[in-house]
Amino acid sequence: MQTIRTLILEDDIETLSVLLKGLRGLEENLESSTPPQNLALTILSECTQVEEYINKCDKDNFDIILLDRDCKSGGSFHTLDIEKIGAEKIIGISGMPNYNEELKKRGVTKIVDKTLDDLETFTQKVIPLITRTLKETGKIK
């Protein structure tokens, strides 16, 4: 079974819970595809983890990244080395339009504005964008 490595940079537990439910539905579809695939999730809630682990890796270890901006330690997930990882694999998910505009200036073209008062609709927009991104990058058919 092929594994799609997914990094979620998000500090809000409620957002994560709704996203995880949506990702489970996506994984069910991937498991029944040919060839069968599944999701391996890495979730980080602090930007220091990005700086200490993700940015220091010699190679890119993720097929798709969901990128919020604010983190639990008061910093920014935007310290992610987008140039090394590849903007084509990143989906910006901040609830602040100006933060998503920052990502656009760095080459990220896929953005879903997070709406904390309607996380179900937000997730319904994110999941198809993940699928589209995985198709565009050749990770799924």
Omega into 36 within 30° of 0, i.e. cis? no
End-to-end CA distance of the chain: 14
Asked if residue 69 belongs to a domain, the reply is yes
- For 6, other C-beta atoms within 10 Å of its C-beta total 21
pLDDT, one tens digit per residue, over 87-109 is 999 999 999 988 999 999 999 99
Domains held by the chain: number: 1
Identify the domain containing residue 16 by its residue range.
Answer: 2-136
Q: What is the CA radius of gyration of the chain?
A: 14
Q: Residue 58: is its pLDDT beyond 80? A: no
The CATH number given to whatever domain includes residue 112 is 3.40.50.2300
Asked if residue 106 belongs to a domain, the reply is yes
Omega into 97 within 30° of 0, i.e. cis? no
In angstroms, the CA 13 to CA 120 distance is: 14
Among 20-29, 47-56, 111-120, 125-134, the minimum mean pLDDT is found in: 47-56
pTM of the full predicted structure?
A: 0.94
